[in-house]
């Protein structure tokens, strides 16, 4: 359905007779409704009783389970929210200021960007949905590339911005390298097994003799696939590209980069890891494990599996690097990039444990990460429009400056200084999101970290639990730094330049800037979900528990 809808939208854009009668915002609305309808159809499939054990479709190329269905819904809902929320400023507010339109500002560029943005988002979302359900090496790689292809284009969508083009090129080159590594891993597995269906490969590996070269080829191929996927989600030590790309991209694009690709890739990592742990005859991997000579497993209490060690080492480095390097950042998107790396460390820890409790924690953490990160970036985008533009300049920027994609973006944390006294509601909302990221109770972020730490301690990962607790405490400092700046009022007004004074006066006097009602509703709903989770936690917790039990039952 999504493929047919995408083709219809592409044809509509290509035909001038149709395109001129459809506004860019309408394209966004149509794309968003398409994703919502896809989510409704997916939710309706939960009533199929046989889906619990998995249903193979298209000759086994895809496997549909309750787990994949849930995250298909999460993916399409998140994509829909991002599409709906982009017109943050009320379009009627723009239309009512006709004197600004008469100054000759070009509104076609931003309109074209919005049209292209909606189509590319749909293509990337389609790749994510296919990737989550992939059960074949070929479909896994093609789905991953379909998702990545859309993300590469999104990153460099604002072609008039040198920073955006630089970020897109860097992401494309390094992402292509990761794709080559994944393809090499798939090729090795096919060479040694002669199979591409993942279920068939797992069945073969579980019965072959330890001395057989099939195990060696499978292990090497899977290691390469793991490395490529860890690169795609910016897990340390393969994270160096992420801070630069996230910082140089437009904030609306960064919102997509930090959430959507990570969900689907983490899920395919989880599915592979789960099946690997079910293979009984894996002793050859232990003999080939070079880390046994370096790391004392009795001290670190690491899992004996090589793949678990790989995930644990990446988790360990992500927690440390994301926290330590984040302390020195002065740019807000760069700080949030390192924050994302730190969160990936928690998710990989739950993934490496792979127990019933850790899977429940993994599902819960991904959902809360999506909610909190999405709300944080939407608020930052809105702050950018409010801070950097006066009443008159705001309209000009929407029409012209958005060509660069970064003119209305907040770059430095210091730009948020004193915003509580100018925009108290938005400031408090951002504070709630940052507290949740830091793991402050009783917000939803606290419970996600608590569940991961509980499962780690219960399964004997004391060293990793200790590291995770320490980095959580340290990382709270850079979230508190943003909050402190929000609530700090500059007393010495002489330190401001004339330009800054003009902006402040405009902000104080301008009460006519209107946030779109849709954006207000979305931000309010997400904030209440973060804040009031403690009042009714069973809605989400029961769902994650049932999914976790279904995975171990079937």
**Cα separation, 291 vs 313, whole angstroms:** 10
Q: Please tell me what DSSP assigns to residue 135.
A: -
Which H or E element spans position 62?
strand 62-64
**Cα separation, 41 vs 45, whole angstroms:** 7
User: How high is the pLDDT of residue 476?
Assistant: 92
Q: Which residue has the tokens 């499939």?
A: 45
Task: Find residue 63's DSSP bridge partners.
Answer: 56
**Cα separation, 154 vs 250, whole angstroms:** 9
**Cα separation, 116 vs 128, whole angstroms:** 18
User: How high is the pLDDT of residue 343?
Assistant: 95
**Cα separation, 152 vs 45, whole angstroms:** 32
Tally of CB atoms within 10 A around 503: 17
Main-chain dihedrals φ then ψ at residue 156, nearest 5 degrees: -105, 25
pLDDT per position in the chain (554 positions), as tens? 777 777 777 777 777 666 666 777 777 888 888 888 888 888 887 766 666 667 888 888 898 888 888 889 999 999 998 888 765 555 544 444 444 444 433 444 455 566 778 888 999 999 999 999 999 999 999 999 999 999 999 898 887 778 889 999 999 999 999 999 999 999 999 999 999 998 888 888 877 766 668 888 888 899 999 999 999 999 989 999 999 999 998 888 899 999 999 999 999 999 888 887 766 444 444 444 554 444 444 333 333 467 888 899 999 999 999 999 999 889 999 999 999 999 999 999 999 988 888 989 999 999 999 999 999 999 998 888 787 664 445 444 444 444 444 557 788 898 888 888 888 999 999 999 999 999 998 899 999 999 999 999 999 999 999 999 999 999 999 899 999 999 987 655 444 445 444 544 554 444 445 677 888 889 999 999 998 888 878 778 877 877 777 666 54
**Cα separation, 282 vs 276, whole angstroms:** 9
SS3 helix, strand, coil % of the chain, rounded to 5? 80, 0, 20
User: How high is the pLDDT of residue 51?
Assistant: 65
Q: What is the residue range of 452's domain?
A: 2-553
User: How high is the pLDDT of residue 371?
Assistant: 94
User: How high is the pLDDT of residue 59?
Assistant: 84
**Cα separation, 527 vs 522, whole angstroms:** 8
**Cα separation, 193 vs 204, whole angstroms:** 8
CA atoms 396, 400, 401, 402: torsion sign:
positive
**Cα separation, 353 vs 460, whole angstroms:** 9
The gap from C-alpha 73 to its chain's centroid, in whole angstroms, comes to: 15
User: How high is the pLDDT of residue 407?
Assistant: 59
User: How high is the pLDDT of residue 199?
Assistant: 87
**Cα separation, 502 vs 428, whole angstroms:** 25
**Cα separation, 486 vs 419, whole angstroms:** 5
Residue 157's SS3 state is coil
Task: Find residue 62's DSSP bridge partners.
Answer: 57, 134
Identify the CA nearest to 142 among candidates 128, 163, 152. Answer: 128
Is the distance from CB of 256 to CB of 245 less than 8 angstroms? no
**Cα separation, 351 vs 365, whole angstroms:** 11
Task: Find residue 331's DSSP bridge partners.
Answer: 412
**Number of domain units in the chain:** 1
User: How high is the pLDDT of residue 365?
Assistant: 94
User: How high is the pLDDT of residue 297?
Assistant: 41
**Cα separation, 157 vs 249, whole angstroms:** 9
Task: Find residue 56's DSSP bridge partners.
Answer: 63
User: How high is the pLDDT of residue 257?
Assistant: 92
pTM (2 decimals)? 0.86
Rg for the chain (alpha carbons), in Å? 24
Helical ranges in 487-516 per DSSP H: 498-509
**Token pair for 75:** 């993916």
Which H or E element spans position 56?
strand 55-57
Identify the CA nearest to 209 among candidates 306, 290, 280. Answer: 280
Q: Please tell me what DSSP assigns to residue 44.
A: H
SS3 for 72-117 is HHHHHHHHHHHHHHCCCECHHHHHCCHHHHCCCCCCHHHHHHHHHH
**Token pair for 44:** 């309706």
**Cα separation, 431 vs 476, whole angstroms:** 12
Residue 49's SS3 state is helix
User: How high is the pLDDT of residue 55?
Assistant: 81
């Amino acid at each position: 359905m999504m493929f047919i809808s995408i083709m219809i939208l592409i044809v509509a854009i290509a035909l001038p007779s149709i395109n001129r009668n459809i506004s860019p915002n309408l394209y966004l609305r149509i794309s968003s409704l398409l994703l919502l309808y896809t989510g409704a159809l997916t939710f309706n499939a939960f009533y199929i009783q046989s889906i619990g054990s998995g249903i193979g479709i298209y000759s086994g190329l895809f496997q549909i389970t309750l787990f994949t269905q849930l995250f298909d819904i999460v993916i399409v809902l998140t994509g829909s929210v991002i599409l709906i929320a982009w017109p943050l400023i009320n379009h009627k507010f723009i239309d009512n200021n006709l004197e600004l339109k008469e100054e000759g500002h070009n509104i076609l560029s931003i309109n074209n960007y919005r049209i292209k943005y909606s189509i590319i988002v749909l293509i990337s979302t389609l790749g994510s949905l296919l990737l989550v359900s992939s059960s074949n090496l070929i479909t896994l790689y093609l789905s991953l590339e379909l998702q990545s292809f859309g993300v590469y284009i999104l990153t460099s969508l604002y072609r008039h911005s040198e920073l955006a083009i630089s970020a897109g090129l860097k992401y494309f080159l390094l992402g292509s390298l990761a794709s080559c590594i994944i393809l090499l891993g798939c090729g090795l597995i096919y060479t040694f097994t002669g199979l591409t269906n993942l279920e068939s490969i797992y069945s073969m590996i579980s019965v072959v003799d330890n001395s057989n070269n099939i195990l060696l080829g499978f292990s090497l191929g899977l290691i390469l696939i793991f490395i490529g996927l860890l690169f795609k989600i910016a897990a340390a030590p393969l994270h160096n590209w992420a801070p630069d790309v996230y910082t140089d991209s437009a904030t609306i694009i960064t919102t997509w980069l930090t959430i959507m690709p990570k969900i689907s890739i983490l899920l395919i990592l989880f599915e592979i890891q789960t099946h690997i742990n079910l293979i009984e005859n894996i002793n050859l991997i232990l003999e080939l494990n070079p880390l046994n000579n370096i790391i004392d497993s009795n001290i670190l209490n690491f899992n004996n599996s090589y793949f678990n060690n790989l995930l644990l080492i990446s988790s360990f480095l992500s927690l440390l690097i994301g926290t330590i390097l984040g302390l020195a950042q002065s740019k807000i998107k760069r700080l949030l990039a390192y924050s994302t790396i730190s969160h990936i460390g928690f998710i990989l820890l739950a993934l490496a444990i792979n127990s019933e409790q850790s899977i429940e924690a993994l599902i819960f953490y991904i959902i809360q990460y999506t909610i909190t990160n999405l709300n944080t970036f939407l608020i930052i985008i809105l702050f950018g429009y409010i801070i950097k533009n006066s009443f008159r300049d705001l309209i000009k920027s929407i029409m012209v400056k958005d060509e660069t994609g970064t003119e209305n973006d907040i770059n430095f944390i210091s730009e948020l200084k004193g915003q509580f006294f100018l925009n108290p509601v938005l400031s408090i909302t951002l504070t709630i999101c940052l507290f949740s990221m830091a793991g402050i109770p009783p917000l939803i972020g606290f419970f996600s970290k608590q569940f991961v730490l509980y499962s780690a301690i219960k399964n004997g990962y004391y060293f990793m639990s200790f590291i995770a607790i320490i980095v959580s405490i340290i990382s709270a400092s850079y979230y508190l730094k943003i909050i402190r700046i929000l609530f700090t009022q500059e007393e010495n007004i002489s330190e401001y330049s004339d330009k800054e004074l003009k902006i402040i006066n405009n902000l104080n006097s301008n009460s006519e800037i209107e946030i779109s009602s849709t954006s207000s509703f979305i931000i309010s709903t997400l904030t209440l979900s973060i804040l009031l989770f403690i009042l009714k936690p069973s809605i989400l917790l029961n769902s994650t528990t049932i999914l976790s039990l279904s995975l171990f039952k079937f």
